[in-house]
Structure 1
Amino acid sequence: MTDADTRPTHDVLARRDGALGHLTLNRPAAHNALTLDMVRTIDAALDLWEEDPGVAAVLVDGAGDRAFCAGGDIRALYDARRAGLHAPLADFFRLEYRLNARIARYPKPIVTVMHGMTMGGGIGLGAHASHRIVTERSALAMPEVRIGFAPDVGGTYLLGRAPGELGLHLALTGGRAGPADALLCGLADVHVPAGRLHDLRTALAGCRTAADVDARLSAFGTAPAPGGLDAARGWIDRCYGFDAVEDILAALEAAPEAEARAAAAEIAGNAPTSLKVTLQALRDARLLGLEDCLDREFRVSLSITARPDFVEGVRAAVVDKDRAPRWQPARLSDVSRRDVLRHFEPAEDGDLGLGKPSWAGPRTSASPHGGEERDGVAGASPSRSGDDA
């Protein structure tokens, strides 16, 4: 690609701006939701620019002012599952998760501008990059439990490393993090006012090294308005420190803080199976690297999308929009430990194979809060000793 080349490749624009490779997700009417063709286009551009000595860094942003990327195209996945097709889901997850890992390990700086709505697959594109920008209009979320799915695209790795129990709070409620909360949770690195993004892009085009990128972002970065999670750390860490969703809900419902009781109401409306699988996945993720987490998520994604809850959740949220999903089962007590663990078993059509094959599976030790481990719950929560295990 030359400096003058602006090439529409399906729903991604790929061009060179000086020493900057620039990718723009170009489905603004669909909030830049990610399709399989878009994943392939992004991967091909990264192939080209990795070998091009004239490209010093890559910038990824979204068209329009409403969203960086609202996630994967779940309507397309819903249609495939409704038609009884398995291959489209397996192909999408396989290529998407490999792209997530590639972004995290790319040898050149990747700058992502998570302006506006950034959910699910948008987190996978944006939050694994080396330089991650949010603006005052950023809203980051992993809302998968609301549609009978579970956090993926390396979301378990990211949320599992947020301070205290903040990541678990976001995962079980499906709630959004504004710019300050995204920085606190380690999902972003710098806040840049939306009105300065154009000037920042121009400045990045002149970068020649990673140090140049660091300097540009430092020059444009400002402090965001305060978020709400830091002040809520007390009740969040206290209430989410259990290893059974039932115990977490009970603690939230009994808490004196109104925000805690509101969180309990949010969680109670989400898919019971998804909640228990998500808790297990995040507890395990604290001891795993990114590639291992992606491997586990691949297993879970193929398994959980084969369940009725995924189709029902997308129907209620996206198709009919009645916001009244009928989960199967409808009660947490009806989701057994065996029901949870089977989602982590090897996929029938092969594992993703990014991480270490020796992973032993979910832990089964007793809860640190004492008592017997309950059906469908995670093992003991390890203490944090750093990001890498």
Structure 2
Amino acid sequence: MRAYAQASTGILELNRPRAINAINGEMVDIITPALEDWRDDPEIHRVLIFSNSERGFCAGGDIREVRDHAIEGDHEFGDQYLQKEYTMNKIMANFPKPYVALIDGVVMGGGLGASAHGSHRVITEKAFAAMPEMAIGFVPDVGISYMMTHMVGEEGRKIPALATFAGLTGYRLSAADMLYTGLATHFVPSKDLAEFQEMLIAESIDEALEKYAGELDEEPRIREFLPEIEACFSKGTWAEIDAALNECENEEFVDLVRDLMSNANPSSVVASAEMYAVNTKVSTVEEAIHNEYEIGYLLRREPNFAEGIRAVLVDKDRNPSFVPATYDEVDAAKYHAVLN
């Protein structure tokens, strides 16, 4: 991780290629003070965050280390790490200058926290995004439940159900989906990205966009399912969402959802549905992150957190054994009780 200034641009360079830039505490400790300095520096006109890895922008947060400590009974490590990361996300969300993320390839979890709060989310045709937290026994966090429930895309209005759908299913948004939903703001072909970046640094974001930004020749798949997404995922609880899915006549959509959620932790799904319903209505990212932290605080102390990460990131057998194993057995009230 490098943070440096070039011309009038503050630059955050993600350079952990083996981990696809998974954000750890050391990276947060570099990014946060740099942003605090640049926020008040009149010589810095914009901030740029990008990856020097061909594999993608950022595969998420370095959650395996949190699991390792949790297994030993040390939950304070995860508490402190996430509090630091969430402080960084709040700074990004409230940054008073243009904050430009260049996303070429995968962006997930914590990578969305480091990019989606920015004023400019510039993607290439190679970009794709997901919040796969249900599979690891956790919760969509880093403020994304606020950003995505409040974003405005090509429909010209907020569609909170889209955010709930993406968060609960882990649906992989294509580049076209990202532009359609508003998760991405601009498209630049990957072949032009290096020159775009050079011009952005040397001149300005507006001039670089005027020269290099274009239209992506790809249709968003998620738009096909918008009526079903709004009909089913606008409900306030998982039980209501599940009931709506059972009544949905679009079998292709229902099969997609059930398949995506086949390895989901029931407790994470129930808790996250409660959280999305509340965070749809909050007025600040700080309130939303508080709710994410409180839900995550509970889930990280449950065995399903370690089990989910084992199945996805450690043994990679994709065969978790979650308890409770069914949605009906999950007590939604205990999660709802910690939400503001």
Q: Give the alignment's TM-score, normalised by structure 1.
A: 0.81
Give the SS at the match of 2:44. coil
Residue of 20, 41, 45 corresponding to 2:9: 20
SS in 1 for 2:114: helix
User: What's the CA shift string for 1:32-81, capped at 9, x where partnerless?
Assistant: 00000100101122133233332211110112111211111011111111
Cα separation, partners in 2 of 1:49 and 1:231, compared to 1, 3 Å: same
**Structure 2: gaps of 5 or more residues:** 152-158
Q: Which residue of 2 aligns with 1:299?
A: 294
Q: Which amino acid aligns with 1:64?
A: S
* CA displacement, residues 199-242 of structure 1 (integer Å, 9 cap, x when unaligned): 111111223xxxx4234224321112212011211222223233
Query: 1: CA distance between counterparts of 2:234 and 2:114?
Result: 29
**TM-score (normalizing by structure 2):** 0.92
Pairwise CA distance, 1:186:
2.2
2:236 paired with 1:243: yes
Residue identity matched to 1:227: P
How many Å separate the matches in 2 of 1:164 and 1:33? 27
Residue 63 (structure 2) pairs with residue 71 (structure 1):
no
Contact 1:151/1:171 (CA < 8 Å) preserved in 2?
A: yes
Equivalent in the alignment of 1:119: 108
CA contact (8 A) 1:159 1:171 kept: no
Number of residues paired by the alignment?
330
One-letter amino acid matched to 1:305: R
Deviates more, 1:49-58 or 1:226-235: 49-58
Kept after mapping to 2: 8 A contact 1:139/1:176: yes
The DSSP-based 3-state class of the residue aligned with 1:59 is strand
CA distance in 1, matches of 2:120, 2:237: 35
Deviation of 1:268 (Å): 4.0
For residue 87 of structure 1, what is the aligned residue in structure 2?
A: 76
1:26/1:173 Cα in 2 relative to 1: closer, same or farther (>3 Å)?
same
Contact kept, 8 Å, 1:112 with 1:132, in 2: the verdict is yes
- Partner of residue 276, structure 1: 270
Contact 2:50 2:57 in 1 (8 A): yes
Letter of the 1:287 partner, please give it.
K
Aligned to 2:225: 232
Q: 2:209 aligns with which of 210, 214, 217?
A: 217
- In the alignment, the residues of structure 1 paired with residue 77 and residue 297 of structure 2 have an alpha-carbon distance, to the nearest angstrom, of 11
More helix by share: 2
Q: 2:238·2:274 contact (CA, 8 Å) conserved in 1?
A: no
Q: 1:164–1:34: structure 2 CA closer, same or farther, 3 Å change rule? A: closer
- Greater shift after overlay, 214-223 or 327-336? 214-223
The answer to whether structure 1 residue 182 and structure 2 residue 174 are counterparts is no
Alignment partner of 1:204 out of 177, 200, 203: 200
Q: Which residue of 1 aligns with 2:165?
A: 169
Task: Look up the equivalent residue of 1:239 and give its one-letter code.
Answer: C
Q: Deviations 1:178-214 (Å, cap 9, x if unpaired)?
A: 122112222121111111111111111223xxxx423
Q: 1:164 deviation in Å?
A: 5.2
Q: Which residue of 2 aligns with 1:334?
A: 329
Partner of 1:149: 138
| Cα distance, 1:55–1:241 mapped onto 2, change above 3 Å | closer
For residue 58 of structure 1, what is the amino acid of its counterpart? V
C-alpha change, 1:160 and 1:126, in structure 2 (3 Å) is same
Partner SS for 1:149: coil
Q: 1:76 to 1:272 in 2, by over 3 A?
A: same
Establish whether residue 317 from structure 1 lines up as the match of residue 312 from structure 2. Answer: yes
- Which structure's CA Rg is the greater one? 1
Supply the distance in 2 between the matched residues of 1:47 and 1:251 (Cα, whole angstroms).
46
Q: Give distance in 1, aligned partners of 2:163 and 2:325.
A: 24
Query: How many angstroms apart in 1 are the aligned matches of 2:199 and 2:235?
Result: 47
**Structure 1 residue identity aligned to 2:42:** P
For the pair 1:139 / 2:105, whether they are aligned, the reply is no
2:278 maps to a residue whose letter is D
C-alpha distance in 2 between matches for 1:110 and 1:317: 32
Q: 2: CA distance between counterparts of 1:244 and 1:302?
A: 20
Give the direction of change, closer, same or farther, for the CA distance of 1:81–1:205 in structure 2 (3 Å limit): same
Q: Which runs of 4+ in 1 moved over 4 A?
A: none
Contact 1:135 1:191 in 2 (8 A): yes
User: Residues 336 and 44 (structure 1 numbering): CA distance in 2 closer, same or farther, change over 3 Å?
Assistant: same
Give the corresponding residue for 2:118: 129
Change (3 A) 1:218 1:263: farther
Pairwise CA distance, 1:250: 4.2
Helix, strand or coil for the counterpart of 1:140? strand
AA matched with 2:161: E
- Indicate the residue corresponding to 1:379 in structure 2: none
How big is each residue's C-alpha offset from its partner over 1:100-144, in whole Å with a ceiling of 9 and x where there is no partner?
A: 110111122111112211011000000001111111111111111
| Equivalent position of 1:384 in the other structure | none
Q: Is 1:167–1:185's contact at 8 Å kept on the other side of the alignment? A: no
Q: Residues of 2 paired with 1:247 and 1:59: CA distance? A: 42
- Give the root-mean-square deviation of aligned CA atoms: 1.7
Question: 97, 102, 107: which is aligned to 2:91?
Answer: 102
Measure the CA separation in 1 of the matches of 2:180 and 2:114.
19
Gaps of 5+ in 1: 1-11, 346-360, 362-389
